[in-house]
Homo-oligomer: A and B are copies of this chain.
Amino acid sequence: MLTKKGLKEFCADARENYLPHISIDCVVFGFHEGIMKVLVLKVQNEDEWYLPGGFMLKNEPIEKAANRILKERTTLDKIFLQQFHVFGDPERSKEHFDMYKDMLPAKENWFANRFLTIGYYALVDFFETSPNPDQFAESCQWRGLDDLPDFKLDHALILKTALDTLRLQLNYQPIGYNLMPKEFTMPELQKLYEAILDKKLDRRNFQRRMLGFGILTRSDEPRKGGAHKAPYLYSFDLENYEAALREGFKGGW
């Protein structure tokens, strides 16, 4: 939560630069140790949790705004981003309104407005990401899907909707290029799918199916060093991958 002075400064700045009534909230998915993780923000000195979000510059394309916001939170550029829904319940930002309503008169108070928020989800490489808190937050951190905090506002709904969309997407689009390192083994990729879908898949059928999509390249060198039989390393064939992204494929899990 901001101090009165901080709020006043923020509002003056926001009114000048941002489109009113509109925000962007992002669900940033990463994959680490077999668990799907989401970037969450914790407010200073409070047990309050949010998804990373922000506002749109007056003359900025939506997707650019989402990219800019995420770059600030993750240091990542060129993130895979997908708009998935607009949340516009008139009461959805009431908590924010109540929190700040006594500090500034409504006319200059940015948070006295109703906000529609455009939901984006992002898929990022966990290891390339350096979470950065924003001016409202004390920390920005990864949380597993099995260990989510209680979100403020409608951010739990936003997260759930993003996850549902992602699961649906899995049925007709390749996923993984943005979530995996450059090279990976088939079992590692399978763990990603299992984490997203929250269910076990058959090792052998997964392999056949995945290879059938024709979006993977097997490198000559298997991964060494581990115990047991050395698995092959794969990477995505970007050309085919992107063709599949555009055209989609059939069938589901």
Contacts and interface: CB of A to CB of B under 8 A. Distances in A.
A172 interface: yes
Given A19-B116, A61-B88, 18 more contacts: A19-B21, A19-B114, A21-B21, A21-B22, A22-B116, A56-B88, A59-B114, A60-B90, A61-B90, A62-B86, A62-B88, A83-B85, A83-B86, A86-B118, A172-B252, A250-B251, A251-B251, A251-B252
A207 interface: no
A89 interface: yes
Interface in A47-72: 56, 58-62
Given A21-B20, A22-B21, A58 B172 contact: no
Given A172-B168, A250-B252, A252-B250, A59 B90 contact: yes
Interface in A99-152: 114, 116, 118
A82 to B, nearest CB: 11
A171 interface: yes
Contacts of A116: 19, 22, 62
Contacts of A56: 88
Contacts of A19: 21, 114, 116
A73 B6 CA distance: 47
A114 B250 CA distance: 39
A89 B61 contact: yes
Contacts of A21: 19-22
A59 B86 CA distance: 16
Nearest to A249: B252
Nearest to A90: B59
Nearest to A84: B85
User: Nearest 5 CB-CB pairs, A to B?
Assistant: A62-B88, A59-B90, A250-B252, A19-B21, A86-B86
Interface string A12-24: 0000000111100
Nearest to A60: B90
29 contacts: A19-B21, A19-B114, A19-B116, A20-B20, A20-B21, A21-B21, A21-B22, A22-B116, A56-B88, A58-B114, A59-B90, A59-B114, A60-B90, A61-B88, A61-B89, A61-B90, A62-B86, A62-B88, A62-B116, A83-B86, A86-B86, A86-B118, A88-B118, A168-B172, A168-B248, A171-B172, A250-B252, A251-B251, A251-B252
